[in-house]
Amino acid sequence: MAAYCCAMTQKPNISSKPVVRFLDRTTPPHIVTLVLMAGLSAMTINVFLPALPEMTAYFGTEYRVMQLSVAIFLGVNAVLQLVVGPLSDRYGRRPVLIGGILIFLLATLGAIFAPTAGVFLVLRATQAGIVTAMVLSRAIVRDMVPGEEAAQMIAYVTMGMSLVPMVAPSVGGILTSHYGWQSSFWLLFGVGLLLLAMVFFDAGETAPKRTGSMMDTLRGFPELLKSQRFLGYALSAATASGAYFAFLGGAPFVGSTLFGLSEDRLGLYMAAPAVGYFFGNFLAGKFSTRLGMNTMIMIGASVSTLGILGSLVLFLLDHATPESFFFFITFVGLGNGMQLPNSIAGSLSVRPHLAGTAAGLGGSMYIGGGAILAAFAGSVLTVEGGALPLLYIMAAASGASILAAIWVVRRERVIAAS
């Protein structure tokens, strides 16, 4: 990461890499700002999960209604990414980023004072404005460096970012047990204010200047969708992250209802995949340029699948424990940490002039798939069925990511041979 901070230039030039100065709006964002951009997006997904049982009682509704706060957030997140990418390609990263953070701050304040579950869910959906930070952190990296260097940089950014979801559920569980469910959202509001200040004073514009209408920019969608390589990379990321989002949708039920874990203990255990993700990002940053994106994608997908299958075997043998369940989920995080930076960098590199659009479209695909799987996982779980439906869903998603990775590898061989 030190090399990254010292070696960037203001323009995305392969041969001349720029200098980045912290809190200087005339240069690209510092890595600290990029990590915070990605980190708050991740924190918003999982910091409040240990509070779901308390929120269910507070609003006088059913658990499956409050669990929709995960799926709704991810669904709106997916739709917004279709807009954020092209907007940032046309008008620049900086104004779109600041607008998204402001929307997030207003929605977070509203959620804290929501009078009913329905109002809360609407405001929770509006919180998805923070997706601009996640999408544009990747597009900005691709503005600065090309190809497999982008995979390495994205891995380092997400490695720093992964510390947030590693700690956030534990912090959320502790805050909830002492101060109530609203405390997690006050935490989000405070971090959002910090991010707004960091972006305002540090994030210089990195997008190439463009002319033409918004419709000209939107024509990038069919161009990307016609590319088999883009689709392969995007589907690889979508199915891999889908396994993790299914876990987010079902793990609170498995932990609290099936295993009887307390809120703070559940929050601690739910950090397990983030621990794996951190080390997976480290391995991606260290080996992506050496082994290549496709090799790292295959390794990561295989590790995730094996971890899920290990947990599934223990449940089928009736030897599962809370510790074994969350231990094996760590391998899902480890595999995703190796796979996702490379899948994302691959999708951004297919059409470099459409980096923002590709970041939005690809992100929409894997967040949208995650939303569907999170909602599905939460809806099929029952005390009688146990954790098996969740693990079947996760295994199917992770296995599909291997097939998508194979598709990419074969397509690259066809291109190389022609």
> How does the average pLDDT of the chain come out, rounded?
83
Give residue for tokens 């949208």: 368
Instruction: Among 33-37, 87-91, 113-117, name the one with the lowest average pLDDT.
Output: 87-91
pTM strictly above 0.85: no
* In the chain, % of residues over pLDDT 70: 89
Of the pLDDT bands very low, low, confident and very high (cuts 50, 70, 90), residue 4 is very low
CA distances from 22 to 8, 154, 307 (A): 12, 19, 40
For residue 401, count other CB atoms closer than 10 A to its CB: 31
pLDDT given for residue 10 in this prediction: 38
CA distances from 284 to 3, 292, 343, 349 (A): 16, 10, 11, 17
* In the chain, % of residues over pLDDT 90: 30
* Higher pLDDT, residue 105 or 411: 105
Q: Are 258 and 387 in contact (CB under 8 A)?
A: yes
**What whole-number distance in Å separates Cα of residue 394 and Cα of residue 201?**
41
DSSP symbol at 254: I
Q: Are 75 and 278 in contact (CB under 8 A)?
A: no
SS3 track for 309-346 = HHHHHHHHCCCCCHHHHHHHHHHHHHHHHHHHHHHHHH
**What whole-number distance in Å separates Cα of residue 237 and Cα of residue 169?**
23
The most confident of 73-87, 179-193, 203-217, by mean pLDDT:
179-193
- Angle (CA) 365 368 370, round 5°: 110
The most confident of 63-67, 363-367, 388-392, by mean pLDDT:
388-392
CA distances from 156 to 11, 31, 163, 282 (A): 20, 9, 12, 7
Residue 261 sits at φ, ψ, to 5 deg, of: -75, 145
Tokens of 75: 């669904």
Of the pLDDT bands very low, low, confident and very high (cuts 50, 70, 90), residue 215 is low
- Among 126, 53, 41, 133, residue whose Cα is nearest residue 93: 133
Tokens of 413: 């061989």
Burial of 157 (0-12, 13-18, 19+ CB in 10 A): buried
**What whole-number distance in Å separates Cα of residue 304 and Cα of residue 317?**
21
**What whole-number distance in Å separates Cα of residue 182 and Cα of residue 201?**
29
Of the pLDDT bands very low, low, confident and very high (cuts 50, 70, 90), residue 332 is very high
Q: Are 248 and 165 in contact (CB under 8 A)?
A: no
Domains of the chain, each with CATH number or no CATH: 27-204+220-417 (1.20.1250.20)
Distance of CA 386 to the CA centre of its chain: 27
